[in-house]
Structure 1
Amino acid sequence: MHSHWQKIPLSFAMNGVQQNSNFQRFTAGPVKYFKIIGICLQPPETLRIKCSRFITVASIFLMLAHQIGYLLTPGRTFAEQSAAVALMNYTTVSFGKILFLIYNRHLLLKSHGQLKAIHPSVELERQYKLEHHLLFYARVEILLYRFFKYILIIYLVYPIVQSFYDLWSTGVYTYLMPSFYWYPVRVEESLLVYLFYVSFQSFASYCAGTIILSADLCLFSSVSQLLLHLELIAQRILELQPAESDSLGALKVIIEYHQRIFMLAHDVNAIFAASIIFSLTSSSFILCFSAYQLLGDVSFIFALKVLLLLCYEMKQVVITCYYGDKLMESSLNLFNVVYAHNWPDGSPAYKRLVLIMMIRTYRPICLNVAGIADVTLITLKQVLSASYQIFAVLKTA
Structure 2
Amino acid sequence: MCKPVVFLFLGTSLLYMPCVGSLSIYKHLQNNETILSFGLSTKFYGISQFESNLRYFTPLFIFDIIIYVPMVVSYGVQVILIPFLCNFIATYLEYIQLRLNAIYIESKQTSQSEARLIKLMKGIYQDHYDAMKFVKALNEIFNGVFLVKVAISSFLYCLLFFILTQVEDNYLLIKAVALVICLQLDVLLICIYGDRLITQSLNISVACYDVKWYNASIKFQKMIAMMIMMTNIPLKVTAWDFGDISIQSYGTIMRRTYSYFTLMHNGSEEQEGAKLNQI
Instruction: State whether TM-score is above 0.5.
Output: yes
Counterpart position of 1:174: 33
- Tell me if structure 2 keeps the 8 A contact 1:344–1:351: yes
1:389 aligns with 2:259: yes
Letter in 2 for 1:191: L
Letter in 1 for 2:207: V
Residue number among 341, 345, 348 corresponding to 2:211 in the alignment:
341
Equivalent positions of 1:1-397 (< 5 A) are 24=1, 29=5, 161=27, 164-165=30-31, 173-181=32-40, 188=44, 190-240=53-103, 241-242=106-107, 243=111, 244-245=113-114, 246-395=116-265, 396-397=267-268
CA distance in 1, matches of 2:158, 2:69: 24
Rate the CA distance shift 1:306–1:388 in 2: closer, same or farther, 3 A. Answer: same
CA distance in 2, matches of 1:350, 1:35: 53
What are structure 1's unaligned runs of at least 5 residues?
1-23, 38-51, 53-148, 166-172
CA distance in 2, matches of 1:365, 1:304: 39
Point out the more displaced range, 329-338 or 383-392.
383-392
Rate the CA distance shift 1:29–1:381 in 2: closer, same or farther, 3 A. Answer: farther
Letter in 1 for 2:67: A
Deviation at 1:177, TM superposition (A): 2.0
- Tell me if structure 1 keeps the 8 A contact 2:160–2:180: yes
Return the structure number with greater helix share.
2
- Tell me if structure 1 keeps the 8 A contact 2:191–2:249: yes
Q: Over residues 73-118 of structure 1, what are the superposed CA-to-partner deviations in whole Å (9 max), with x where a residue is unaligned?
A: xxxxxxxxxxxxxxxxxxxxxxxxxxxxxxxxxxxxxxxxxxxxxx
Counterpart position of 1:71: none
- Tell me if structure 2 keeps the 8 A contact 1:159–1:178: no
TM-score by length of 1: 0.56
Letter in 1 for 2:144: A
Q: Over residues 127-150 of structure 1, what are the superposed CA-to-partner deviations in whole Å (9 max), with x where a residue is unaligned?
A: xxxxxxxxxxxxxxxxxxxxxx99
CA distance in 2, matches of 1:234, 1:335: 9
CA distance in 2, matches of 1:158, 1:290: 24
What are structure 2's unaligned runs of at least 5 residues?
45-51, 269-279
TM-score by length of 2: 0.78
Q: Over residues 51-94 of structure 1, what are the superposed CA-to-partner deviations in whole Å (9 max), with x where a residue is unaligned?
A: x9xxxxxxxxxxxxxxxxxxxxxxxxxxxxxxxxxxxxxxxxxx
Percent identity (aligned): 15
Letter in 1 for 2:238: N
CA distance in 1, matches of 2:187, 2:73: 17
CA distance in 1, matches of 2:22, 2:188: 26
CA distance in 1, matches of 2:240, 2:219: 38
Letter in 2 for 1:384: M
Letter in 1 for 2:200: S
Q: Over residues 267-305 of structure 1, what are the superposed CA-to-partner deviations in whole Å (9 max), with x where a residue is unaligned?
A: 111111111122233322322222222223442222222
Deviation at 1:158, TM superposition (A): 6.5
Q: Could you say what secondary structure the match of 1:374 adopts?
A: coil
Rate the CA distance shift 1:30–1:362 in 2: closer, same or farther, 3 A. Answer: farther
- Residues matched between the structures, number: 251
Q: Could you say what secondary structure the match of 1:177 adopts?
A: strand
- Tell me if structure 1 keeps the 8 A contact 2:37–2:64: yes
Deviation at 1:379, TM superposition (A): 0.8
Q: Could you say what secondary structure the match of 2:34 adopts?
A: coil
CA distance in 1, matches of 2:189, 2:121: 34
Deviation at 1:386, TM superposition (A): 1.7
Q: What RMSD over aligned residues (CA atoms) do the two structures have, in Å?
A: 3.1
CA distance in 1, matches of 2:166, 2:29: 22
